[in-house]
């Protein structure tokens, strides 16, 4: 059987603040040689994809946590905030003293104040600074942006009030970049997640659900891990994700992705063959 691999980026393909491990690239290319497909499944938009991932011949991907779904060079599904949703969320965040990171297809926009808080928080939380491709730091954010999702930054550490006030209309997902969950979260559209994006790709390909292998480490990977035929959590994964996973591999810095791919190609395929 041909497997369809879906890989998260930060903490799975890329160790935080580092490049793509050689062992991961080698394992991915070996899987491709066997005829398996490889997709990215990320909260990042296409414009935010790190150049370190360019050696990987992806067959498509789930971007912006499910808002943009692509396969074989085609856009299969694309969802965005309505104008009233953009106004509602941004007005609310401003009124409550929160800051916003606005993700669009063309780039990610944030004010200079938001950027400084984000940068300082990253260094304080885990001692690293992540460069975001496609990031536009400006205090004059255009009004006609096609918004995929909004990330909230809370200098007062009150993200829980965002969950309380917007959680009935939006999917509030914990951040996966290492900041305190009280300081940052993703405000996503309801019913849109990595699992729904993977379902769209499999339907397009005409492949069964059991052909899918999802590998991730963060809270926004839960739906992916639950949906895929084989859900694998990285050794460095969120404990909630590990509880949902079918198998737990090694840490991202210790050939974890290579071990995950090898397990799927050997043990999981053998199990499917027996069935």
DSSP 104: E
Q: What is the DSSP string of 207-231?
A: --GGGEEEEE-SGGGHHHHHHSSEE
pTM of the model: 0.92
Q: Which two tokens stand for residue 30?
A: 């070996």
In angstroms, how far is CA 258 from the centroid of its own chain?
19
Q: Which two tokens stand for residue 133?
A: 């491709």
Give CATH 3.30.1240.10 domain extents, the chain. Answer: 83-189
Architecture of domain 4-79+192-274: 3-Layer(aba) Sandwich (3.40)
* H/E element, 151: strand 147-153
pLDDT digits (tens, 9 = 90+) for 126-158: 666 667 888 999 998 888 889 999 999 999 999
Give CATH 3.40.50.1000 domain extents, the chain. Answer: 4-79+192-274
Place of tokens 């994809």: 49
Architecture of domain 83-189: 2-Layer Sandwich (3.30)
Burial class, 83, CB count within 10 angstroms (exposed 0-12 / middle 13-18 / buried 19+): exposed
pLDDT digits (tens, 9 = 90+) for 183-232: 999 999 999 999 999 999 999 999 999 999 999 999 899 999 999 999 99
Determine contact, residues 223/190, Cβ cutoff 8 Å: no
pLDDT digits (tens, 9 = 90+) for 48-67: 999 999 999 999 999 999 99
């Amino acid at each position: 059987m041909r497997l369809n691999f879906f890989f998260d980026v930060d903490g799975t393909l890329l160790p935080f603040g580092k490049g793509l491990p050689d062992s991961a690239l080698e394992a991915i290319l070996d899987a491709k040689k066997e005829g398996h497909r490889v997709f990215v499944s990320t909260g990042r938009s296409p414009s935010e994809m790190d150049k370190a991932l360019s050696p990987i011949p992806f067959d498509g991907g789930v971007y912006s946590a499910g808002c943009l779904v692509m396969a074989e060079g085609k856009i299969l599904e694309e969802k965005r905030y309505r104008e009233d949703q953009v106004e509602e969320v941004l007005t609310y965040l401003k009124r409550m003293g929160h800051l916003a990171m606005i993700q669009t297809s063309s780039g990610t926009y944030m004010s200079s104040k938001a950027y400084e808080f984000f940068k300082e928080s990253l260094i304080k939380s885990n001692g690293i600074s992540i460069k975001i491709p496609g990031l536009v730091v400006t205090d004059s954010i255009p009004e006609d942006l096609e918004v995929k999702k909004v990330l909230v930054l809370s200098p007062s550490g009150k993200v829980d009030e965002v969950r309380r006030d917007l959680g009935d209309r939006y999917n509030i997902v914990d951040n996966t970049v290492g900041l305190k969950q009280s300081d940052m979260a993703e405000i996503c559209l309801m019913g849109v997640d990595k699992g729904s994006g993977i379902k769209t790709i499999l339907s397009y390909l005409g492949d069964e659900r059991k052909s899918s292998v999802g590998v991730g480490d963060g809270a926004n990977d839960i739906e992916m891990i639950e949906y895929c035929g084989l859900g694998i959590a990285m050794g460095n994964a969120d404990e909630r994700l590990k509880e949902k996973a079918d198998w737990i591999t090694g840490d991202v810095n210790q050939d974890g992705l290579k071990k995950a791919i090898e397990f799927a190609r050997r043990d999981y395929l053998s199990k499917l063959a027996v069935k």
